[in-house]
């Protein structure tokens, strides 16, 4: 499908809304019908708008076309497949209300669709792929690029995941409080990992990375729009995403190479996103609940505060709490970066070696950074090990640049 005449993120946002509303009619068992109608709607838009120009209210135009195409579908199927039609649709499907693209119906449908896609019957990786395709309108090729995988691999993963969804018989309808409480943790975890796929992306494609992050934020905002899902944890996760996204432009140079935190141009940080992060974090802290998202958001907040003299002490204290709540090797290594800022590199090296994470690329990357100021040879060895272990071409380029600098520094020292 050619979306060249469709502006910006209109396809991403409106495609998923149309699919979500139509899935209330067709159910997940027949999600392909909803997707076909949504795709046909955008095909008609690309053809019509190329000739007649973009209408004054493009979203209303899309909803009207989708609504009419849905009605046409049932008119045609009634002629020759009446029995199938009756088996597929719920009672009262022909009422005008079922086809409405009101803001409330869209919001309710999107929320239900998020909970349907973030289903523990699928692996986390499959949930993220489904979220990208169904909730965000990503093509198989775009998902493959984001995961550095072959399109055929992604296609098979999506097919299996869709079969599991159909077998689960989850209905796209207004969710009960009990269903939300049961599934919200899974939903938040999926959105968290979806965001991380963009923020810690292995691809050099900055557009894909930013799209992944912005889509995760958009879906989190859908959760904050409903009283049952607008929890302190949800707000904390959204705060974390805003803080992290604020530094995206400063994290890579024009060649796509990563820029270390210490060397980032703080003028490139997005102050509006930092303010939004502050807003959501303050609101997330109304109450006694402290989740991993609260702690990670607070750490991200301190990273965006360049003036406080004690910020690394604050960050280290938060990491101490975080490793207690949910330990992971990455969290432990991030904590040691903060530890080095507070207690010095030598102490951090001693602590890092206790972790025994020799097969972890981040471990060697951290040791390379910690040794860089005092022992160029060891730093180079660890950076070379990181290059062997990482799949990220961008990271390889950055490390090769660091190694080049260290070798020059070592050569200059030898001459002296």
DSSP element (H, E) containing 73:
helix 58-80
pLDDT band at 65 (very low <50, low <70, confident <90, very high): very high
> What is residue 177's predicted lDDT score, i.e. its pLDDT?
85
pLDDT tens-place string over residues 73-87: 888 776 555 555 555
Residue 314: exposure state from Cβ atoms within 10 A (0-12, 13-18, ≥19): middle
Decide: 166 and 29 in contact? Cβ < 8 Å.
yes
Q: Per-residue pLDDT averaged across 56-72, rounded?
A: 91
Q: Per-residue pLDDT averaged across 263-285, rounded?
A: 94
pLDDT band at 94 (very low <50, low <70, confident <90, very high): very low
Residue 406 half-sphere exposure toward CB, CA atoms < 13 A: 23
Q: Per-residue pLDDT averaged across 36-46, rounded?
A: 92
**Selection from 283, 256, 281, 276 nearest residue 214 by Cα:** 276
For residue 48, pLDDT over 70 is answered with yes
Q: What does the angle CA 386 – CA 333 – CA 393 come to, to the nearest 5 degrees?
A: 30
For residue 258, pLDDT over 70 is answered with yes
For 335-416, CATH number?
A: 1.25.40
> What is residue 6's predicted lDDT score, i.e. its pLDDT?
64
pLDDT above 90: percentage of residues in the chain: 48
> What is residue 351's predicted lDDT score, i.e. its pLDDT?
95
Q: Which residues contact 350 (CB under 8 A, 6 or more apart)?
A: none
> What is residue 105's predicted lDDT score, i.e. its pLDDT?
84
> What is residue 84's predicted lDDT score, i.e. its pLDDT?
52
> What is residue 89's predicted lDDT score, i.e. its pLDDT?
52
As a whole number of angstroms, the distance between CA 124 and CA 127 comes to 5
């Amino acid at each position: 499908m050619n979306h060249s005449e469709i502006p910006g993120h209109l396809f991403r946002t409106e495609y998923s809304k149309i699919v979500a509303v139509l899935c209330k009619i067709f159910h997940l068992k027949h999600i392909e019908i909803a997707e076909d109608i949504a795709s046909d709607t955008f095909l008609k838009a690309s053809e019509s708008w190329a000739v007649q120009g973009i209408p004054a209210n493009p979203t209303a135009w899309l909803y009207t076309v989708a609504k009419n195409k849905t009605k046409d579908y049932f008119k045609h199927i009634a002629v020759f497949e009446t029995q199938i039609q009756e088996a597929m649709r719920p009672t009262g499907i022909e009422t005008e209300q079922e086809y409405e693209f009101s803001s409330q119906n869209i919001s309710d449908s999107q929320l239900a669709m998020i909970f349907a896609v973030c289903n523990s019957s699928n692996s986390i990786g499959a949930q993220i792929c489904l979220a990208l395709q169904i909730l965000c309108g990503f093509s198989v090729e775009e998902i493959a690029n984001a995961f550095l995988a072959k399109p055929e691999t992604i296609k098979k993963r999506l097919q299996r995941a869709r079969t599991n969804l159909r077998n689960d018989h989850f209905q796209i309808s207004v969710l009960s409080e009990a269903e939300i409480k049961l599934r919200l943790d899974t939903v938040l975890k999926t959105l968290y990992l979806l965001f991380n796929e963009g923020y810690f992306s292995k691809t050099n494609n900055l557009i894909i990375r930013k799209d992944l992050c912005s889509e995760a934020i958009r879906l989190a905002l859908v959760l904050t729009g409903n009283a049952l899902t607008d929890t302190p944890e949800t707000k904390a996760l959204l705060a974390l995403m805003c803080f992290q996204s604020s530094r995206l432009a400063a994290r890579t140079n024009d060649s796509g190479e990563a820029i270390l935190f210490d060397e980032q141009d703080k003028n490139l940080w997005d102050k509006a996103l930092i303010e939004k992060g502050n807003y959501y974090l303050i609101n997330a802290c109304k109450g006694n609940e402290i989740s991993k998202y609260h702690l990670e958001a607070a750490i991200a907040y301190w990273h965006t505060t360049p003036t406080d003299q004690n910020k690394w002490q604050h960050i280290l204290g938060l990491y101490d709490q975080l490793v207690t709540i949910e330990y992971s090797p990455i969290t432990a290594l991030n904590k040691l970066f903060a530890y080095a800022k507070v207690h010095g590199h030598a102490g951090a090296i001693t602590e890092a070696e206790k972790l025994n994470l020799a097969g972890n690329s981040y471990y060697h990357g951290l040791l390379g950074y910690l040794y860089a100021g005092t022992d160029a040879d060891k730093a180079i060895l660890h950076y070379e090990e990181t290059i062997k272990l990482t799949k990220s071409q961008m990271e390889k380029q950055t490390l090769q640049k660091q190694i080049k600098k260290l070798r020059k520094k070592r050569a200059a020292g030898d001459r002296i």
